[in-house]
Amino acid sequence: MQVISFMAIKGGVGKTTMAFQFAKYLQENNKSTLLIDLDSQKSLTGTFETKDFNFKYKHN
């Protein structure tokens, strides 16, 4: 298992955008992906709650 993190102290540098786009790329290439949103603003979580990006959700 690989862990890839997008981190920076400064806000507004594209961490959420990069994490989302990279996860989408992995999904399109049939890779299992887990995104964990630790940001207090929950921007990544909000992306999935408000828009349809055709991600395949799998729950065990």
35 pLDDT above the threshold of 80: yes
Each residue of 3-17: pLDDT tens digit? 999 988 888 999 989
| pTM exceeds 0.85 | no
Contact (CB, 8 A) for 60 and 32: no
DSSP string of 1-60, one letter each residue: --------SSSSSSHHHHHHHHHHHHHHTT---------TT-HHHHHHHH----PPP---
Q: Which amino acid is at 4?
A: I
Instruction: List the chain domain ranges.
Output: 1-60
Structure tokens at 19: 């994490």
Band (53; pLDDT cuts 50, 70, 90):
low
Cα(20)–Cα(25) distance, integer angstroms: 9
